[in-house]
Amino acid sequence: MLFDLIVARLVMIVTISGWRAALYPENAKYILRNNTVSWRRLSDCDRASCDDVLAALRRACTQPAALTR
């Protein structure tokens, strides 16, 4: 389910930003600034298996938090 939610969020990002860019063409560059990354991530999700993604997330959750100052 988590993988599906991640994909749904990415789809929302590209859909809403595309819609907003059409409504406000004078701000399209700003509105669409992250679309390339979101499309790339969607493409990566399309190539990845759900089990592999969930395994990677589980591994990431077992790592100690990185503290930055």
Q: 49 to each of 23, 41, 53, how far by Cα in Å?
A: 36, 13, 6
pLDDT of residue 69: 63
Q: Which residue type is seen at 24?
A: Y
pLDDT of residue 67: 66
Residues of the chain short of pLDDT 50, as ranges, are none
pLDDT of residue 60: 87
- Encode burial over 49-66: b for 16+ CB neighbours within 10 A, e otherwise: eeeebeeeeeeeeeeeee
pLDDT of residue 35: 93
